[in-house]
Amino acid sequence: MKPSLANTKSETAAMKLVALELRLTRKPGSLLSQVEVALADQGRPLRWAITAVSGEELQIEAVVVQESP
């Protein structure tokens, strides 16, 4: 998942695995919920981690599942 590949995807399947890099500004409250909500906008999170933190800004790397209706 190189930066230039963010949101790359396989083209052949109705189900796609999409690599993401997200940046999220943290707010008070459950950190886990904030990450899960941010990822859910992109698809079903398959694997993710907070990979860097700078003050209140989080960098998240993830692979999510996107399914065609």
Contacting positions for another protein (CB under 8 A): 1-3, 5, 10, 12-17, 19, 21, 30-32, 35, 46-53, 58-59, 61, 63, 65
CB of 41 to another protein, least distance (A): 17
Residue nearer to another protein on the CB measure, 29 or 41: 29
User: 54: Cβ–Cβ under 8 A, 6 or more apart, which residues?
Assistant: none
CB of 33 to another protein, least distance (A): 9
Helix (H, G, I), strand (E, B) or coil at 20: strand
Q: How many CB atoms within 10 Å of residue 35?
A: 20
